[in-house]
Chain A
Amino acid sequence: MTILKNEKDLVVPGEVLAEGLDYLPGYGAFREGDKILSKNVGIVSIRERNVGVTALSGRYMPKAGDKIIGEVLDVQMSTWFLDINSPYQASLSIGEASEEYVERGADLSRYFDVGDVLYAKIISVSKHKNIQLTMKDIMCKKLRGGKIVNITPSKVPRLIGKAGSMITMIKEKTGCNIVIGQNGRVWIKGENEDLATKAVSMVDEKSHTDGLTSRVTEFLDANPTVKTATKTDYVEGDVNAG
């Protein structure tokens, strides 16, 4: 009948979040008898009747609709296999990668080769974790140059911020191109790559604290940038996903 935790409380696995059947277990929570318990070490989030926990650590679990950054591991007859920073490999078939007609037996490495970094969308995840990707989305593209930073996947929404506030701020202050994958990979390219990397890592480490956007702003203002760019050519992840 009652909720026992407040929004943003720190909980550990097995901790009781709510009792009675008035609430439903959301992400990172499960029902045991008439109680709702936490699955992870994380922060409580309450959305109306749903009580969930945002994990503070853990691997990325693929979900249909997520846009992710993957690295090509293998090129086969009609498919590429990508590492998507999760325990499972993803596959991208030729039909989902290119609009043009490809001859049977053509060398696919002229599109994407081993080691290439792609920003792709997950179209389906089967029960046995066969993951299908697509490049047929406006945002999807091959990422050339730049560097990849890994953050905890559950902290991606924090890095994006409310309506993209955090990431827009980092992009504006550093003038870097930044692409965020839901799988916790962040691609950064620009003059102030190192500074942007530090800011991204700062969000990762301190994601569960209050007033983070203003502290990151302070940090970026305190450090000199090479040049203030005005370019806003970037791709943005889904704010509400994850």
Chain B
Amino acid sequence: MRDDGRANEELRELVIKAGVFKNAEGSAYVKMGNTVAVAGVYGPRELFPKFLQNAEKAHLKCRYNMAPFSTKDRKRPGQDRRSQEISKVIADALEPVIFTKEFPKVGIDIYIEILQGDAGTRCAGINAASVALADAGIPMRGLVAAVAAGKVDGDYVLDLTYNEEEKTKADVPVAYAPSLKKVTLLQMDGDLSHEDVRNVINVAIKGCEKVHEAQVEALKNKYREVTL
């Protein structure tokens, strides 16, 4: 039994909404327990500065940002080393599912804002960005779902909270594209044996499939509401 009463392979309370903002071409809201992320997508649109343009495919620009009030201690606003790294890994996690070659020379901009952080912010960010991309009508090979897993007291646990992240031997965020059956992001913070890594990844992939179902539901709900 975990601190919040969840089973080992159970996700936190998951809320996903598609199309939450009017001004962005695509947007999404994701709440995983106490972690809250929103994402907005613009594009494909003309890309500047011009040297970033690629004649073969679209350039994917991602900006991950944490709100100053998202953590216990105020977070100094603005980009730092951590957010730059996360922006890069999120862009790399999403690129394999986007048909970038259909849009030579242009840019696709993804903006992710973390409103509240309780571990797993990059995963919540990926989940939001992937729904926002689909909402913006960008051709994709499928959605990307992400969730972290780890090992606490000998048990493999899914979707760690901040308190669990302190206790875990390793925290492994995994992004997975169910339609392609491919892992697009795999990071590990900590130490695990060979066997443990394999098991933790499998637990995370199972979690991603559950997240994926919620993403699909969120996208379909946006249009069902209009029908009624």
Contact = CB atoms under 8 A, between A and B. Distances in A.
A39 B226 contact: no
Interface stretch (A94-102, A203-211, A217-225): A203-211
Contact of A37 (B55, B134, B141, B220): B141
A56 B137 contact: yes
B220 A14 contact: no
A37 B179 contact: yes
A88 interface: yes
- The number of chain B residues touching the other chain, given as a range, is 35 or more
A87 B105 CA distance: 9
A50 interface: no
A57 B137 contact: yes
A70 interface: no
Given A87-B44, A88-B106, A14 B137 contact: no
Contact of B142 (A37, A57, A128): A37
Given A39-B139, A39-B140, A59-B44, A12 B180 contact: no
Contacts of A143: none
B26 interface: yes
Interface string A134-170: 0000000000000000001010000000000000000
Given A32-B179, A87-B43, A209-B227, A13 B139 contact: yes
A206 B226 contact: yes
A58 B179 contact: no
B70 to A, nearest CB: 29
B134 A12 contact: yes
Interface in A71-91: 87-89
Contacts of A16: 179
A65 B142 CA distance: 30
Interface string B204-220: 00000000000110011
A10 interface: yes
A58 B140 CA distance: 12
A3 interface: no
- Taking chain B's interface residues, is the majority helix, strand, or loop, or is none over half, making it mixed? mixed
Contacts, number: 95
Contacts of A205: 226
A12 B139 contact: no
A59 B177 CA distance: 24
Residue among A14, A57, A206 facing the most chain B CB atoms (10 A cut-off): A14
Contact of A208 (B55, B138, B142, B223): B223
Contacts of A12: 134, 143, 215-216, 219-220
Nearest to A127: B104
- The number of chain A residues touching the other chain, given as a range, is 20 to 34
Nearest to B215: A12
Nearest to B224: A10
A61 B227 contact: no
B178 interface: yes
B99 A14 contact: no
Contacts of A41: 134-135, 137, 219, 223
Given A12-B216, A57-B136, A129 B142 contact: no
A57 B25 contact: yes
Contacts of B139: 13, 28, 39-40, 58
Nearest to A59: B44
Given A56-B223, A209-B227, A14 B138 contact: no
Interface string B91-113: 00000010100111110000000
Interface in B127-181: 134-143, 177-180
Nearest to B130: A13
A206 B142 CA distance: 25
Contact of A10 (B103, B137, B178, B223): B223
A25 B215 CA distance: 24
B99 A39 contact: yes
30 contacts: A12-B216, A12-B220, A13-B139, A13-B140, A13-B141, A13-B142, A13-B143, A14-B97, A14-B140, A14-B142, A14-B179, A15-B216, A28-B139, A30-B99, A32-B179, A39-B139, A39-B140, A40-B139, A41-B134, A55-B137, A56-B223, A57-B25, A57-B26, A57-B135, A58-B138, A59-B44, A89-B46, A128-B104, A154-B137, A208-B226
Interface of B: 25-26, 43-46, 55, 97, 99, 102-106, 134-143, 177-180, 215-216, 219-220, 223-224, 226-227
